[in-house]
Amino acid sequence: MIFETVGQHGHEQVVYCSNREVGLKAIIAVHSTVLGPALGGLRMWPYATEQEALNDVLRLSKGMTYKAAVAGLNLGGGKAVIIGDPSRDKSEGLFRAFGRFVNSLGGRYITAEDVGIDVNDMEYVFQETEFVSGVHQVHGGSGDPSPFTAYGTLQGIMAALAVKFGHEDISRHAYAVQGVGHVGYHLAKLLREHKAKVFVTDINRDSVQRAVDELGCEAVPLDQIYDVDAEVYCPCALGGTVNMDTIPRFRFKVIAGAANNQLATDECGEEVARRGILYAPDYAINAGGLMNVAIELEGYNRERVMRMMRTIHYNLSRIFKIAERDGITTAKAADRMAEERIATIGKVKLPWMGSAKPHFKGRTR
């Protein structure tokens, strides 16, 4: 069953990590190393079953392959998940044990922070392996990638506005931001700095209140975010919120947010297009965080990161043109763009097998 599941997604390697003494149950998935070593975040989540965790890490790691390809990075796609409640199950031993598993892969997989993980957790991982990106600035790293993911998402929103409305004036529209955690809060802040009206919701009431008090956003109950009078829907929480139950409720004209796996199914992408809603493919618009941590491989430079992030606007513009030209959904256009780059590079190099370790320039441990 496991080999069958893994084979369906075309993964190169899946590693189960267990350490009973510290309560570690984790899975590392390396989807592709055709373009370079697999880079992708570590997520900690209280999955109901191990199968649910496996499904998530397989889906997310494949998304990272496509994200890196569309972003023009020389990196493959990977992801890791720890089964546990981030509010109560974290410990130094847990993350150091995970770090040892990452190190055992010899650089085929480079980890970073994701949902449920912060830069302090990465510090423990970093004590056991150099194959960590997004470490604290004191080590020459980039720190929290969330503000960069949000900034890149803003670039993508502007590209979508240009296609849908013929302008890039953020202030002329209202936005429904679902999830105001690390990335969502920063996106809401950027939108408010442009004088836009912003509706927010989150399972964490404190996060919502912070966005209301500090940014002047308007709070709405969780399930009502799909009904608000806004032109742009910005999913910034977990995936699957664009589905056959929510789509009929949308008054949105654009879907452009930072969450992964926003479309519950491929059919949802077709339905969104049928209704005339412009979808900015998730792994293309939310690539800012990946770009930020990828720069650590070459020596971190914030100015270079900000320049690179503006390519998200260009990439999305290309995807929208491909979709229109070929008569396909924007989701399929993004996949086509990624797959063509992987196929092209694959003709000139074999998958990365660790013959030359990734080198993080300017980093100290």
Q: Which amino acids are annotated catalytic?
A: 79
The alpha carbon of 325 is separated from its chain's Cα centroid by a whole number of angstroms, namely: 27
Q: What is the residue type of 52?
A: E
Give yes or no for a contact between 178 and 257, defined as CB atoms under 8 angstroms apart: yes
SS3 85: coil
Measure the CA–CA gap between 217 and 129, rounded to whole angstroms. Answer: 41
Among residues 112, 70, 91, the alpha carbon closest in space to that of 294 is found at: 112
Q: Show Cβ contacts of residue 212 under 8 Å, excluding neighbours closer than 6 positions.
A: 200, 218, 219
Helices (H) and strands (E) in the chain, counts: 13, 11
Q: 170 vs 46, 161, 224, CA distance in Å?
A: 37, 8, 23
* H-only helix segments in 34-118: 50-71, 92-104
Measure the CA–CA gap between 119 and 159, rounded to whole angstroms. Answer: 31
Residue 127, number of CB atoms within 10 A of its CB: 14
Measure the CA–CA gap between 199 and 147, rounded to whole angstroms. Answer: 19
Give yes or no for a contact between 314 and 157, defined as CB atoms under 8 angstroms apart: no
Give yes or no for a contact between 28 and 105, defined as CB atoms under 8 angstroms apart: yes
Among residues 44, 33, 46, the alpha carbon closest in space to that of 77 is found at: 33
Q: Show Cβ contacts of residue 50 under 8 Å, excluding neighbours closer than 6 positions.
A: 25, 83
The alpha carbon of 258 is separated from its chain's Cα centroid by a whole number of angstroms, namely: 7
Give yes or no for a contact between 148 and 289, defined as CB atoms under 8 angstroms apart: yes
